[in-house]
Amino acid sequence: LSDRLNAAFKRFKGHGRLDAKNIKDGLREVRLALLEADVHFSVVKDFIERIKDRAQGQEVLESLTPGQQVVKIVHEEMIELLGGTTSGLDLGTKPPLVIMMAGLQGSGKTTTSAKLALYLRRQKRKPFLVPADVYRPAAIDQLHKLANELGVPAFASTADMNPVDICSQAIEEAKKQACDVVLLDTAGRLHIDELLMQELQAIKETCKPQEILFVADSMTGQDAVNVAARFNELLDVTGVVLTKMEGDARGGAALSIKSVTGKPIKFVGMGEKLSDLEVFHPDRVASRILGMGDVLTLIEKAQEAIDAKEAAELEKKFKRSEFNLEDFRSQMKKIRKLGSLEGIMKMIPGMGQMRKQLQNVKMPEKELTRIDAIISSMTLAEREDHKLITLSRKKRIAAGSGTSVADVTALLKNFEQMQKMMKKMMGKQKQGKAIPGMP
């Protein structure tokens, strides 16, 4: 997903000015990326609408760097999509805090109960584990083993007991042992069924858990989201735990679940080990998905269009003052790919200062086409030495490129200016004076 989104952002970055059309094109890429990541289509639709509205607003169009503005908006909206703020457990309630786990079989309830026990103990809490799955053979054993491993007390449930009784008796037992958090590990089914739901509702009625965490296997993508919606309808859960996130590169469930259920993701399971549980931070996850630990890496990625070897060649030419119109043109073509001169300057050591000057010089597409046409109409000799170009030659070149003499003159002037600047920079460099902004 990150790669796809980055490709989409390149579109925004490439444009000096954003208009309805290039916003639309860029957002189409974002949309496809999200759908491919298995994000629910209605979630994607709303998401894109919101970004479109904001991206077309004044804040973006009048900004110096509209592309970055759009990326910023996508980032902010994605944080919202993931739930906005971090919502952990409310540990401030009157003890014992009762947490009920719910979810399909194999989603990770038992494992997550143990993981939470470890997490809570690290928070200086005293957790109590309650195996309440009396149907699956060895389910009780499984939690007892994990409790042993952690050295956390667990209720001595047996398979012949009623799950509702187990839970209510366990809460009393926890109080006696002065435990302040009770974790109810309930049974699951392969599919949602009436009987299971009745049992879970009965446990809820009796035990009045402050937290009901729906546990979902993130690898199941949209299925997880649909099941979450159903569990939420029947149990009014307080939050979601997404397990096996370390294996889900796409992130579709994570991105859809809050919008679809209205309930926040509170934790994510990142592996089979008991320490592999993380509090879910929407902002961090959004940054990770967008691959923008810092926004600059996005821009840097775009610059990979010029390879390092080429940059070194170019630098040599600058140094020998051999930079000619042909080089100029080939660089223009690169600029076209990158959207700004800055991209090229960045590749050349010692160009820091100039980069700043050129930061906001953006070449419109039409201008680049014209430059290309003009240089194409020159002879090879003219390209290598622009001083050969007299007025009569200018006329010929203008006619050949479908431009005017003024256009040709303007181009040559630009080129000369660039050449001069380069020389000045290189001269300074040779004299060993520091150039501000030089790495």
CA 359 to the chain's CA centroid: 26
Say which entry of ligand GDP, Mg ion, none residue 169 contacts (CB below 5 to 8 A, set by partner kind). Answer: none
User: Any known ligand binding at 103?
Assistant: yes
Interior/surface letters 116-138, b for 16+ CB within 10 angstroms, e for the rest: bbbbbeeeebbbbbbbbbbebee
Q: Is 141 in the site for ligand GDP (CB under 6 A)?
A: no
> Does 111 engage in binding with ligand GDP (CB under 6 A)?
yes
Pick from 141, 193, 233, 272 the residue near ligand GDP by CB under 6 A: 272
Nearer to ligand GDP, 188 or 339 (CB): 188
For residues 218 and 248, the answer to whether their CB atoms sit within 8 Å is: yes
Nearer to ligand GDP, 27 or 101 (CB): 101
108 labeled binding residue: yes
427 marked as part of a ligand binding site = no
Nearest CA among 103, 279, 113, 90 for reference residue 182: 113
* Contacts with ligand GDP, 190-229, as mask; x by CB under 6 A: ----------------------------------------
Minimum CB separation of residue 282 from Mg ion in Å reads: 28
Give residues with Cβ within 8 angstroms of 88, minimum separation 6: 266, 279
Q: Is 103 in the site for ligand GDP (CB under 6 A)?
A: yes
Residue closer to Mg ion by CB (options 26, 188) is 188
Which contacts qualify for 320-323: CB closer than 8 Å, 24 or more apart? 321/419, 321/422, 321/423, 321/426, 323/418, 323/419, 323/422
104 is in an annotated binding site: yes
DSSP H or E run through 54: helix 41-55
29 vs 133, beta carbon nearer Mg ion: 133
Does 266 sit near ligand GDP (CB under 6 A)?
A: no
Q: Alpha helices, DSSP H only, in 270-340?
A: 282-290, 296-303, 308-319, 325-338
Secondary structure class of 58 (helix, strand, coil): helix
* Min separation Cβ 61 and Mg ion, Å: 54
Is 137 or 436 the residue whose CB approaches Mg ion more closely?
137
Site stretch for Mg ion (CB under 5 A), options 103-111, 221-229, 347-355, 367-375: 103-111
Q: CA nearest 189: which of 248, 156, 230? A: 230
Report the run of H or E that residue 22 belongs to, with start and end.
Answer: helix 20-36
Binder among 244, 250, 266, 362 for ligand GDP (CB under 6 A) = 244
Query: Which of these ranges, 76-84, 104-112, 207-215, 389-397, lies near Mg ion under the rule CB under 5 A?
Result: 104-112
Residue type present at position 10: K
Task: Output the smallest distance, CB 159 to ligand GDP, in A.
Answer: 15
3-state DSSP assignment of residue 157: coil
Exactly one of 87, 110, 112, 220 binds Mg ion (CB under 5 A); that residue is 110
Gap between the Cα atoms of 183 and 352, Å rounded:
58
Binding site for ligand GDP (CB under 6 A): 103, 105-111, 188, 243-244, 246-247, 269-272, 276
Extract the annotated binding site.
103-110, 185-189
Binding site for Mg ion (CB under 5 A): 109-110
